[in-house]
Amino acid sequence: METCIFCKIIKGELPAHKVYEDEDTLAFLDINPTSAGHTLVIPKGHYANFEEVPEDVLKKTILIVKLIGQKLKDGLGVESYNVCENNDEAAGQLIPHIHFHLVPRYKGDGLKPWPQAPYAEGKAEEVLKKIKIN
């Protein structure tokens, strides 16, 4: 896609601090990191969201997510990291090219992914009826 920032990075039209690259996948440091080492992993093909990505491409991309996660642990000495994919605009996806965030985490860093609360009485059953697959 001509206007996609990530596609421009893939083509070399915009700079990036590349962590990993192969023929199908690119990983680079986030320009506005949540913590040092915050890395984005993207397929080189342009797919707007999770549902658009072909399974074979998704499998390759996830294996690179795993590789980068281990490198964050080994190279930075972090104990943990979050993997996040914001799927579409309402979920916080700013660039419509699927990407996975790997955010290094440290004990006591104060980062909280999102608030949580229990279901109201009967709500879990209502939701389950709408999304249950089997």
Range list of H helices, the chain: 5-11, 55-76, 123-131
Q: How far, in Å, CA of 10 to CA of 4, rounded?
A: 10
Kindly list the distances between the CA atom of residue 18 and the CA atoms of 3, 40, 68, 91, 114, in Å, as whole numbers in the listed order.
Answer: 20, 10, 12, 26, 28
Is residue 38 annotated as part of the catalytic site, yes or no? no
Name the active-site residue from 38, 46, 97, 99: 99
Q: Do the beta carbons of residue 40 and residue 46 sit within 8 Å?
A: no
Q: How far, in Å, CA of 30 to CA of 17, rounded?
A: 8
Q: Do the beta carbons of residue 104 and residue 35 sit within 8 Å?
A: yes
N-term to C-term CA, the chain: 37
Which residues carry out catalysis? 99
